[in-house]
Structure 1
Amino acid sequence: MLPGKVPPEKLKELVFNHLGDKGERVMIRSGLGVDATAIEFGDTVLVASTDPITGAERNIGFYAVHVNANDVATFGAMPKWFLVTILLPEDADEALLKEIMEEIHSNCRKLRVAVVGGHTEVTPGLKKPIVVGTMLGEAKRERLVLSNGAKPGDAIILTKGAGIEGTAIIASERQCELEEVFGQEFVKKAKAFLKNISVVKDALIASEIGAHAMHDPTEGGIANGLHEMAEAADLGFKVYYERIPIAEETRKICEFYNLNPLALISSGALMIAAEKGKAEEIIKALKFNGINASIIGEFLEDSNKRLIIQNEEEKTLEQPPTDELWKVV
């Protein structure tokens, strides 16, 4: 198999039919396009998500907190409790562990999240550290937003733009090379994309107004996120390439390394499904809070139609087999 997420057909074959007991009070189980679970506790719902950080070495603690917080927030839940497993290579020193934990501590404090447990070890065979986070949050039952809630005709809203996380990672990991080509100021701006990686505010605003579903496009970028969101709801989609914001730094880095910006890891963006009457209200509220957002397309009833229109040409948007990031880092 290729690096990155296991392909959807293999998940169906090898993973989703081995999920143990059905479980009491489980409101949504694991499936394609489902990044968290929701467990009912009376009027309150516990939302939980887990994700590893494997494609970056720098800022790994930062990524672990925010990527997992994002998944919880897409269910309309406030992230509150964090567990973390830190696996270190044999040549790691204490300074690396201190750096990772300081990043986790400071970013959890910013989100008002408590670190409540985890595990730390030196693991033979690793070439670089791996951090696996688990975020827990809670929401009122009536405020819960499910991953599979998109409906035919819903507008697809995208906040910020494509390749946010990928741009920051590549700028950090390939800093010297990129500075020679584009200059220090360009690379500094690209690395600063890291500051935009959280979608907690985006998601809580949209859920309050009335989103049907939300999804943060991580591995595989915007293209994979659209497929995952459509798969969860058994829908198709039609999007317009020219409506998808791609920052200049992202575009130039992708051109330099011959990468597809729509298939580059995009934590920091949020895809929102909402009825068209609510979509403009959501966009207005997001922009009022300093978050750019735009309608990039709509969901279709026919699940076989996964379309993108570029330069007035309509074609199928293929699901990426792997993230473009793996070609570079």
Structure 2
Amino acid sequence: MSKLSPADLDRYIFSRTGAENDGLLVGAGYGEDAAAIETDDGTMVVTADPISLAAERIGTLGVAIASNDVAACGGVPKWLVSTILLPEPDVDVLDDITAQLDAEAERLGISIVGGHTETVAGLSRPLLSLTCMGPTDRYVPTSGAEPGDAVILTKGAGIEGTAVLATDFRDELEAAGVDTERIDSAVGFFDDISVLPESAVFAPVATAMHDPTEGGVLNGLVELACASEVRIDVEREAVPVRPETVALCEAMGVDPLRILGSGALLAAVPADEVDSVLAALDAEGIDATVVGTVDAPADEDDCGVRYDGTHYTGGVRDDMYDLWE
């Protein structure tokens, strides 16, 4: 499993968007996880996201990931439409999933307003597809980063991936000698998946925001840089990684910067706003670090991310995919 290349997205997705509509402010584009639609009452942010892995907490993660995309555009997630596809008519599995959806939506103040549920032959695990919507006073795109901006990362790399490793691969971690208390602590990372609090801090000043998901923080940086047509320089030691993430990733042979990254938020912020933003995040109890700088590219081939001696200009495959194969 991996994301399509930018070229394939342009050819098969972004060039085939149906009828034009005057109300569309921001539509489909590389790195843009949500659309902006003009309404009589302001701007509405709309996004859709699937999730099929992370079997233990698929409903909890589904709500958090979909609402994160709205929040990362400066929106306030309000409404959710949920499609649940099951490999077989198992009411116990359905009970678990819908209980998780309900609890997380309630916690985040989101109403589940509709959807669809059915069984589908050929599926090996449940599949969710969630559409989330919410209003914004200031839409913040992925594509708005400007030379001179600082890139700030909240919390750390691999938050979601660490929690999923701790649940879906607990037996393997214990066999590899990872301490039980450390695994239990990592399970608690599920409580950190939402980025709604930090999005609200960034929204008034950020030039760009993006929540890293598949491919981790590294892929999130690449998507932000390429969407903005800039170069971002990042030093490996600048990216915060929690001790639990280090331990679990070492045991499973994956890179913390290349695993499911929900829970972190990337934001490009003008240099003169950095200190006040970091202070505001600290006041909210949110860890945040400047991990890179935005520069003008020397040419179109220079767009992307310079990280750990390599220049990344396309999608980064998530290291965790191989663990499920």
TM category, shorter: over 0.9
AA at the equivalent of 1:27: L
Cα deviation code 1:169-216 (max 9, x no counterpart): 1111111221231121111011111111000111011113x1111000
Matches within 5 A, 1:1-150: 3-90=1-88, 92-140=89-137, 143-150=138-145
Which of 157, 161, 170 is residue 162 of structure 1 equivalent to?
Answer: 157
After the TM superposition, which of the residue ranges 34-43 and 62-71 deviates more from structure 2?
Answer: 34-43
SS of the residue 1:149 aligns to: coil
RMSD: 1.5
Contact 1:241 1:308 in 2 (8 A): no
Unaligned 5+ segments in structure 1 are: none
Contact 1:7 1:321 in 2 (8 A): no
Instruction: Supply the distance in 2 between the matched residues of 1:206 and 1:66 (Cα, whole angstroms).
Output: 18
Q: Which residue is equivalent to 1:253?
A: 248
Shift of 1:118: 0.2
Contact 1:26 1:39 in 2 (8 A): yes
| Shift in alpha-carbon separation, 1:76–1:257, aligned structure 2, 3 A | same
Unaligned 5+ segments in structure 2 are: none
Contact 1:221 1:264 in 2 (8 A): yes
Which of 295, 301, 304 is residue 300 of structure 1 equivalent to?
Answer: 295
SS of the residue 1:131 aligns to: strand
After the TM superposition, which of the residue ranges 294-303 and 130-139 deviates more from structure 2?
Answer: 294-303
Shift of 1:16: 1.2
Instruction: Supply the distance in 1 between the matched residues of 2:229 and 2:316 (Cα, whole angstroms).
Output: 20
Identity of aligned residues (%): 37
AA at the equivalent of 1:154: D
Shift of 1:307: 4.3
AA at the equivalent of 2:215: G
Matches within 5 A, 1:153-302: 153-180=148-175, 181-208=177-204, 210-302=205-297
| Shift in alpha-carbon separation, 1:320–1:29, aligned structure 2, 3 A | closer
Cα deviation code 1:220-245 (max 9, x no counterpart): 11111111111211111111111100
TM-score where L is the length of structure 1: 0.93
AA at the equivalent of 2:265: L
Contact 1:223 1:318 in 2 (8 A): no
| Shift in alpha-carbon separation, 1:29–1:205, aligned structure 2, 3 A | same
Contact 1:263 1:320 in 2 (8 A): no
Contact 2:47 2:131 in 1 (8 A): yes
TM-score where L is the length of structure 2: 0.95
Shift of 1:270: 0.1
Instruction: Supply the distance in 1 between the matched residues of 2:307 and 2:198 (Cα, whole angstroms).
Output: 26
Instruction: Supply the distance in 2 between the matched residues of 1:274 and 1:309 (Cα, whole angstroms).
Output: 20
Instruction: Supply the distance in 2 between the matched residues of 1:173 and 1:202 (Cα, whole angstroms).
Output: 28
Instruction: Supply the distance in 2 between the matched residues of 1:307 and 1:229 (Cα, whole angstroms).
Output: 9
SS of the residue 1:79 aligns to: coil
SS of the residue 2:203 aligns to: helix
Contact 1:84 1:118 in 2 (8 A): yes
Shift of 1:165: 0.6
